[in-house]
Amino acid sequence: MIAWHATHRRLVAGFLAVALVSLLSGAVASPTAAAVPGAAAVPVPQWEPGLRSYFVLAAPGDVSPAVSATRANGGSVFAAYPAIGVVVAHATGAEFARTVRQAPGVQQAGATRTSDIPKQAYEPAVPPRPPQHTPRGPEAPRWNLTQIGADKSLPVASGSRDVVVGVLDTGVDGMHAELDDAFDASKSASCAYGSLDRRDGAWRDTNSHGTHVAGTIAAANDSVGVLGVAPGVTVASVRVAEQPTGLFFPENAVCGFMFAAQQGFDVTNNSYYIDPWQYLCPDDPDQAAILEAVRRAVRHAERKGMLHVAAAGNSDYNLANKTTDSSSPNDSKPIDNRPLSADCIDLPTELPGVVTVSATGKEKRKASYSNYGTDKIDITAPGGDPGKQDRGVLSTVPGGRYGFKAGTSMAAPHVTGVAALLASAHPEWTPAQLRQRLLAQARDLDCGDDDRCAGDAFRNSFYGEGIVDAAAAVGAAARWR
């Protein structure tokens, strides 16, 4: 029932194996969408070979210029988010984005990918329900919980069901016996192709990554299997990974953040980077449009009261000294040694207000794969070590099973769980207040003898403010320290 899992590095997940039908908070869209507010009826778009996806941006509050420009240039509106002035357009032809940028009222436009849109975007399948297996007793020592003081916090507080954590990921197996009490299907959906799909089960896991993340946050405190950091909170699934590629395209992420805002989640966990560009550079007009669209969606959700937590990445890369990237775009042929500047950033983890999480291994030192960087890392948490089961993070995987994974993807949900504990105790706090308290309560962790680490025990490029502290979050710090 246990399987070691090493995921592809682009998932910012397990260790790098190589590595609307209706108006929703200003969003309308889906393959069956009928209308865009402030515009005439939108024809139901049809898939055809060679279709590409684009963001067309207008001023927040009015997407009509973007809608008009899209139609005038032979495109169709696949999704629209009036609150943030973003349209997802589908079109053929290499000149679409360049021409649309010249239209009155259009602020930016750019391709969201370098590959064609799959036919599944117009005929999305509901992932099958996995057969469930009966969980058995504790599988392994819970070293990761001990490392953050959760063994001290759990007897004191486990969080409130009124606090909702959105897992933006590959989906969640909400039927898993360790998650079924915490999981809320009514607040779950799929955004896997850039439009909202609220059919029952559309949010199910298509990989195992999202279920593993959800278990670290909220697996039941029932003496069976594994245990989450905040088993008393509610978990919702927002599937943003496309199939069959498994990639997290920008239009999927924007849909996910807008849905999260509409649902009123308290915290989101983001253990991925937004494909196809590992780092997006504002001097490229396509990438600039992606940067702005995602930035608007993240900010919109934060203004609705949501704290975002994100994984720092698994490339052992100094985010404060970017030079080149040979992994992007990852949906077509990557560009070898693509030059990067300091303005090129990893989404969503490097956006303002997002809590950026690096990873420690079992010995509470920087994990070999974890990204780092001065003023880039906010906090650290257990991500595990690759290769050996007892050094990975054990959590839930679909079908009532368990599996080990390692990566900053595994570190982030530890922080998300502690943020949910804080939100449970202080429901009146803003995202900024939650973020400030998370960092202030982190336990100092010095650089050790690694000369790549810059800073001191109070704040450094490997661990930020230190390792997240669950005990302090629930007032058990006196016993912990």
Question: What dotted CATH number matches 2-19+127-480?
Answer: 3.40.50.200
Per-residue tens of pLDDT for the chain, all 481 residues: 333 333 334 444 443 322 222 223 334 333 333 333 333 334 456 888 899 999 999 999 999 999 999 999 999 999 999 999 999 999 998 899 999 999 999 999 999 999 999 999 999 999 999 998 877 665 566 899 999 999 999 999 999 999 999 999 999 999 999 999 999 999 999 999 999 999 999 999 999 999 999 999 999 998 888 999 999 999 999 999 999 899 999 999 999 999 999 999 999 999 999 999 999 999 999 999 999 999 999 999 999 999 999 999 999 999 999 999 999 999 999 999 999 999 999 999 999 999 999 999 999 999 999 999 999 999 999 999 998 778 899 999 999 999 999 999 999 999 999 999 999 999 999 999 999 999 999 999 999 999 999 999 999 999 999 999 999 999 886 655 5
- Work out the angle at residue 42's Cα, subtended by the Cα atoms of residues 169 and 196, and round it to the nearest 5 degrees: 15
In whole angstroms, what is the distance from residue 240 CA to residue 244 CA? Answer: 12
Asked if CATH classification 3.60.15.10 holds for the domain at 32-121, the reply, yes or no, is no
Q: Where do the structural domains in the chain lie, given as residue ranges? A: 2-19+127-480, 32-121
For residue 409, give Cα distances in angstroms to 213, 405, 412, 436: 7, 9, 6, 22
Let me know: does 383 contact 408? Beta carbons within 8 Å: yes
Strands 189-190 and 234-239: parallel
Please give the backbone phi and psi of residue 431, each rounded to the nearest 5 degrees, phi first.
-55, -40
**pTM exceeding the 0.85 threshold for the entire prediction:** yes
What's the burial of 49, exposed, middle or buried (CB within 10 Å: 0-12/13-18/19+)?
Answer: exposed
* Residue 326 CB coordination number (10 Å): 10
Pairing of strands 338-339, 324-325: antiparallel
Cα Rg, the chain, nearest whole Å: 21
